[in-house]
Structure formats: C-alpha cells, structure tokens
Copies of this chain bind each other. A is one copy, B any other.
Amino acid sequence: MRVAVFGGDGFVGWPTCLHLSNAGHDVTIVDNLSRRRIDTELGVQSLTPMDSIQERLRIWKQVSGKTIRFELLDIATEYTRVKLWLDEFRPDALVHLAQQRAAPYSMKSDRLKTYTVNNNTNATHNLLSALVELGLDTHFIHLGTMGVYGYSDIGATIPEGYLTVNVRLDDGQEVSRKILYPADPGSVYHMTKCMDQIMFAFYANNDQIRATDLHQGIVWGTHTDQTRRHEQLVNRFDYDGDYGTVLNRFLIQAAIKHPLTVHGTGGQTRAFIHIQDSVRCIELALNNPPARGERPKIFNQMTEVFRIRDLAKLVSELSGVEIVYLPNPRKEASENDMKVANQQFLDLGLEPITLQVGMLEELVHVAGKYAHRIDASKIPAQSGWTADLQSRISTIVDFNPAQRKV
C-alpha cells in the first residue's frame, strides 16, 4: 500500500515508518520536524542519540534496501501544499501523528495552549478537507488517546470508543443508543483529541471518509525489531518533565540511582502499551479499515493498566532505588480504578509485551547504556495545570536531582 505517515519523524512515527516499510508498504514521511524544534526550545534532547531524518533514512536504505521518502511540510499551516502533495502521492492510507502530543507541554503557558489547539485542530481538519476536495478514498488512521475518556472511575469498563446508553423517550419508553463515549479531557492536549473525534464523526457521515481512531495508552519501550537493526535507527527516548512519560522518568532515575519521584499518592491508574505493540496495532488497523459509510472505527490501543505507584515499585524492585512522593502538578483524581476493553486488537492477533517482562531490557539496555547522557535537571515536572498548581511546582523543583550533584 502507499502509506503517508504524517509526523513520521516522532516517537511513534519513526518506528511505525520502519515497521510498515519493512512489511513492504511504500512509505512517505510528511513532517515539519516540530518535535526537534521543541527539543531545542526546551533545551532538552533524546536520551538516545538521534540523527537527522535524512541520515536515518539513508541508514534505513542501507540496512533494508528499502526507500522511505521525506517531505518537509507543515500540514497545520500549509493547506495548499498539503492538498497538492496528497493529489500527487494519492495514498491508500495515511497515519496522522502530526500533532503536539504532550499534555504537560500543552499546559505550560498560554502560548503553548493556543499553539496546541491551533496546530492539532488544523492539522486534522486540513487533512480531512483535502481528502474530500480531492475525492480520495484514503483510509485515515489517527492516533487518539485514552485521555479522551477521562480518568473518573464510573465502575464500568471503558469500551472501545462507543458507549451504549439508555435514553427515556417522551412516551416513557427507554431506547438503547450507541453514542461516542462522553469526552472528558484532562488537559488542552487531550481536549484537542476530543475535538478530533467530532471531526472524524462529521466527515465519516457527510463524506464517507473511512476513519480509524486509535486511543492509545502511555507508550513505553524504545526498541522495535526494526530500530534494533542499526544503532543509528534508534528511536527517541524522552525523559524531560514535559515529554518524558512517567515510566521513562522512573527508568532514568533508576539509572542514576536517584529516588523515583511519584506525584501525589501514585494512585492514578493509567493504560500502557509497548512501542513494538503500538506499531503492530497501527499495522493491524491499516489492514482492517472500516467500510465506506461506516462510522469511525475506534480501538483502545493499550495492553495493560497499572497504578503509578505499582509501576514505581516494579522499577524499584528491579533497580533497588527507593520511591519518594511529591505534590501533583496535575488537576486529577488522586486515586482511580480503570478497566479498559481492548478485545478488538487481541482478536486481530496482538500478543502484548508486558511491563513485567520488558522493563528490564529498558533499564539495562537503554537507560543504563546511555546514562552518561542524562541531564538530571530536566527530569522534574515543570508545568502546573493551573496557576495554583503551578505554585506547587517550586516544591518539586526544590527536589531537583541536579542539586544532588549526581
């Protein structure tokens, strides 16, 4: 298939491109390289040394014999160029990962809130509008987030996108309806993914766009079968307070023997998935598109749920590093349960990599291997969800590992 991967230079995008290219698809990356610009802006860098996209693609060609093309394009601001490019490339499917994807970054300042909304909303809508205008029947695969569901525990398993509810009619009868799960975003970033859902529903209905939305959990892990094939194909590994996921930050702390910092009680339950499973899921979605006229297909792209403190315990046991508890900069419930349906991907053959099994490799072969590149001052959370919570951040920054002279 001809596949366009928008955001193919990012953390999920890069291994997705290699995976699909290796599977025989004709892949083109379209990216504005904004993730690298944000690294520069924040003064942070991937733990793993990351080459330019052009160099990465040269190595991939050398290792695999396969070509992945690269197009420098900002899909949120260059609508006409997006349309011209799509008209030329005419992809069978596109994978849309070209969005600002860090909740803390989206809450850092009003500049970044407005950037996130402007960028993410226009990116999605420009692609949809161009497909309709060109009359292309491209399968539109989008990376959503489990965060669209919110984290309030209502005592029911989170279904895959649609919720069956009963509504009372005027005549007193109750009827059953399958509705989009009520949105409950916890950050500006998550809010944009909820808004994306409305756009997919509209364009699927009005123009028969075939859309798949993948509500992904927190991705962990660095290597996939393809990124392992050459040192210079390595995926990025973020550990800073904005882009680093909770697990990555635990791993980094363990590697430098710094206490694992849990925000709040650590009672927050979250969904997780390994990067190798993430790219497999995208491939499964690619091979199982919705029919034309069908409403958007929604998958929960996650394989396990964990409480943050249990995750910390797991890392602590493997590394021997202690756990400390710090104030929580996020506005969220301190404790929540979560059960998530993910039967669709399991039915399609997904065999998940578990944290219990995969964590050690991350600790030794990634965090340990590159420990000399760690800038410990970048680990703490920097973004409060409100002005009030921002003031708590000072407490966290006071606990800056950098001051411990690691």
A-to-B contact residues, CB < 8 Å: 79, 83, 109-110, 113-114, 117-118, 121-122, 125-126, 129-130, 132-133, 135, 154-157, 163-171, 173-175, 177, 179-180, 182-183, 185-188, 191, 194-195, 198-199, 201-202, 206-207, 331, 339, 385-387
16 contacts between A and B (CB under 8 A): A110-B129, A114-B122, A121-B121, A155-B170, A155-B171, A155-B175, A156-B167, A157-B170, A164-B168, A166-B174, A180-B182, A180-B183, A185-B198, A187-B206, A191-B202, A206-B385
A175 to B163, CA, bound (A): 13
- Check if B180 sits within 8 Å of A202, measured CB to CB: no
Task: Give, as a whole number of angstroms, the nearest-CB distance from A6 to chain B.
Answer: 16
A187 to B207, CA, bound (A): 11
- Check if B198 sits within 8 Å of A194, measured CB to CB: yes
Task: Give, as a whole number of angstroms, the nearest-CB distance from A53 to chain B.
Answer: 27
- Check if A202 sits within 8 Å of B185, measured CB to CB: yes
A163 to B177, CA, bound (A): 12
Using A110-B130, A121-B195 as known contacts, say yes or no to A169 and B182 having CB atoms under 8 A apart: no
**In the complex, chain B residues whose CB is within 8 Å of the CB of A170:** 155-157, 339
**In the complex, chain B residues whose CB is within 8 Å of the CB of A122:** 114, 117-118
**In the complex, chain B residues whose CB is within 8 Å of the CB of A156:** 167-170
- Check if A79 sits within 8 Å of B114, measured CB to CB: yes
Task: Give, as a whole number of angstroms, the nearest-CB distance from A56 to chain B.
Answer: 32
